[in-house]
Structure 1
């Protein structure tokens, strides 16, 4: 990266920060702005950022961001509150998410079956299943949206990326077996090691590391700044140890964050602070990289079937899965529509798509990657532009009701921290 480009990126970040207070009152979201900025830097336009998506720098930034996103997302989830107060996100994750993957797989077979094998179609559906609440931040931060609904979307977004990762690894292993790139026993052992050892290492690192940091804080052996660094270091520690023993480092980072957040919550405040600053910057850089290095190359190979699949997975797969998962909860139709629409695809799908390119032996990787790119592109703008007016519309729909036990949407709930609060 040359000095001129570095200066341009730095000036854009500074300039965007200076007017961020004005922008947050509009329908423009930070991910939209950074995708557009990335597009301007790309070779077809200004040509200032001319790196291949497989470049080592891109891989390092992407992997580091994914580790921290999985770790910090999981650390925000209070499992006791989830079991006690949050029947809706449990349904969205336990019923809606599998249904979204199943429906996405069926749609991929129907629309892309000529270019993807069955397990590749399942892997694509899994890549596009995790939601990213940051793309429609007004929805999960607006006081007009009932706390039960906005927190359900927040919790769902915090957990589904980590849940989808082992499923994706299993599907990719099955795809590799079907395409003859390894024996069935090899891929079975590989998937088992990845999915089993990763959580074991993650739980161990999260529990032991959290206890050590807590003890150090209690004895006042550690400064606040190094408390922050130590907690963040646990995510990298979990990743590295899991990779060394043959597990999946990303799954380990997710499990470490989930364990830390529920066994040592008092030291997790620094993670929320990190998410408001450094974490936000990393995620926005991923959107810039996405716009500059992924969009135009992918659009060269996109056809109408991929676009149709992108629209279908954002609407049919998501909305039907949500509608079925909330049967019996007596939610109003506009609540179901609101929950179904606001399942944007963002940084998790981008990062999982990059994992596809790093793998060997997946013949449909280019089709999968291009479809992911066009789906995220549609989602960034469609969900970004509709988040603010959508939150206002839904708020008006619910404003006519008073909080009673007869209105499930208005029942009181305890709040959990929100990822990346663009809007305050």
Structure 2
């Protein structure tokens, strides 16, 4: 019986993964980010959907989310051209730190007045939804055949790959203050610097080491080269966390450094890690979708609408215009588009599980609000990205058919 149960479980996982990918591809055809299809299928498979699967293990969901983010960030680093990073390093770094802080602060202040929550809960909500996700933006742009001008796409990509550590740090800081109100905010500054520096050092070190191991070991094609790339991502994250660094920053930088070095198995490793990132996205969003009880979203519709409006029309534009003010290569049209392209994705939903695991009062309400905001942001901003870019005249069209084919193959 146990063997049959195992068979049924494996069959169910396989069917869910396949149908989730199909759902994501279908949503992309309608101009929506693939995460809508992934999350939607998870909700349909959940306790209130036709699937009827009862899943409320937030600890396991958090673990799945963290593991998935490691490979998503590592793969994102592998696919990022260092020349793009050098061109936009300054503005991207400012937006990934100061920009996240501004967005979190504006949302937190608004939440106190609009939602009537405590300042601590408002700060937690702001920190959770402060980071952006560019994967959905590029999928939509490719599917609609729009090629953005200048450094705009590079800035969006580098910012999204590097702003997660700041958001994670802010969430941890707020949770610390909630558990220990007497803690001094100034005491966190050294911790933040240590996290960033150690994460960067370990990430760069692993990024240099992985190609050397592949070259010296003669792992030219597939097989063990794939295993080594998986090990590199996990070691970068784990070593950084154990040494008080930021593991997510380490994973991203490890991929970035390795992806810009030359070694025989580079193309196959990059393709494999892209598949790993896809699998991670599918597993993560499916798991997060299973967590959601649709009937509990009703009470958060009004708060969710309010926070989404603040995020899209106030917090994100303020952070973009303030952070990019010193960088004259970005005109007002580019700033408006970058503001609108600040879609929310996987990270906010994963971070929303942290307060629940920590036993914070009102954590389930925060999770539902964050989930609703991510959905609404994707549904509103996703299909209109192309329209906004055309209205602002910051993009040119290329072959739609080939672009659509590339988008379906590479949403990430």
Shorter-normalised TM range = 0.7 to 0.9
Contact 2:344 2:374 in 1 (8 A): yes
Rounded Cα–Cα distance in structure 2 between residues aligned with 1:87 and 1:39: 40
* Greater displacement, 76-85 / 93-102: 76-85
Q: Gapped runs of 5+ residues in structure 2?
A: 398-405
Contact 2:210 2:258 in 1 (8 A): no
Q: Does 1:261 align with 2:259?
A: no
Q: Does the residue aligned with 1:355 lie in a helix, a strand or coil?
A: helix
C-alpha deviation, 1:91, in angstroms = 4.7
TM-score (norm: length of structure 2): 0.79
Residues 396-407 of structure 1 aligned to structure 2 (within 5 Å): none
Q: Does the residue aligned with 1:144 lie in a helix, a strand or coil?
A: strand
C-alpha deviation, 1:352, in angstroms = 1.0
Match of 1:48 in 2: 52
Are the structure 2 counterparts of residues 4 and 377 from structure 1 closer, same or farther at C-alpha, using a change threshold of 3 Å?
Answer: farther
C-alpha deviation, 1:8, in angstroms = 5.4
Residues 293-308 of structure 1 aligned to structure 2 (within 5 Å): 293-296=291-294, 298-299=296-297, 301-302=299-300, 304-308=302-306
Rounded Cα–Cα distance in structure 2 between residues aligned with 1:227 and 1:389: 42
Identify which of 208, 212, 219 aligns with 1:222: 219
Identify which of 313, 316, 337 aligns with 1:315: 313
Rounded Cα–Cα distance in structure 2 between residues aligned with 1:349 and 1:211: 30
Match of 2:357 in 1: 358
C-alpha deviation, 1:117, in angstroms = 2.8
Contact 2:104 2:126 in 1 (8 A): yes
C-alpha deviation, 1:265, in angstroms = 3.0
Residues 232-247 of structure 1 aligned to structure 2 (within 5 Å): 232-244=230-242, 247=244
Match of 1:108 in 2: 111
Match of 1:154 in 2: 157
Match of 2:384 in 1: 386
Q: Does 1:96 align with 2:102?
A: no
Are the structure 2 counterparts of residues 15 and 243 from structure 1 closer, same or farther at C-alpha, using a change threshold of 3 Å?
Answer: closer
Rounded Cα–Cα distance in structure 2 between residues aligned with 1:62 and 1:388: 29
Residue by residue over 1:267-305, the C-alpha shift from the partner in whole angstroms, topping out at 9 and shown as x without a partner, is 675664245312112112222223332252641552523
* Greater displacement, 80-89 / 378-387: 80-89
Match of 2:337 in 1: 338
Are the structure 2 counterparts of residues 227 and 295 from structure 1 closer, same or farther at C-alpha, using a change threshold of 3 Å?
Answer: same
Match of 1:169 in 2: 172
Match of 2:403 in 1: none
Residues 110-125 of structure 1 aligned to structure 2 (within 5 Å): 110-112=113-115, 114-118=116-120, 120-125=121-126
Match of 1:133 in 2: 134
Q: Does 1:69 align with 2:69?
A: no
Q: Gapped runs of 5+ residues in structure 1?
A: 401-417
Are the structure 2 counterparts of residues 3 and 300 from structure 1 closer, same or farther at C-alpha, using a change threshold of 3 Å?
Answer: farther
Rounded Cα–Cα distance in structure 1 between residues aligned with 2:235 and 2:297: 38
Rounded Cα–Cα distance in structure 2 between residues aligned with 1:63 and 1:207: 20
CA RMSD of aligned residues (A): 3.8
Are the structure 2 counterparts of residues 261 and 11 from structure 1 closer, same or farther at C-alpha, using a change threshold of 3 Å?
Answer: same
Rounded Cα–Cα distance in structure 2 between residues aligned with 1:363 and 1:83: 43
Rounded Cα–Cα distance in structure 1 between residues aligned with 2:99 and 2:316: 8
Rounded Cα–Cα distance in structure 1 between residues aligned with 2:316 and 2:247: 27
Q: Does 1:38 align with 2:42?
A: yes
Rounded Cα–Cα distance in structure 2 between residues aligned with 1:199 and 1:71: 16
Q: Does the residue aligned with 1:289 lie in a helix, a strand or coil?
A: helix
Rounded Cα–Cα distance in structure 2 between residues aligned with 1:26 and 1:304: 26
Rounded Cα–Cα distance in structure 2 between residues aligned with 1:332 and 1:203: 31
Residue by residue over 1:176-210, the C-alpha shift from the partner in whole angstroms, topping out at 9 and shown as x without a partner, is 222xxxx638x998x68974665565445434444
Residue by residue over 1:58-107, the C-alpha shift from the partner in whole angstroms, topping out at 9 and shown as x without a partner, is 34322211222344445555667534455543453354333212211211
Rounded Cα–Cα distance in structure 2 between residues aligned with 1:98 and 1:117: 16
C-alpha deviation, 1:46, in angstroms = 1.0
C-alpha deviation, 1:219, in angstroms = 2.5
Match of 1:415 in 2: none
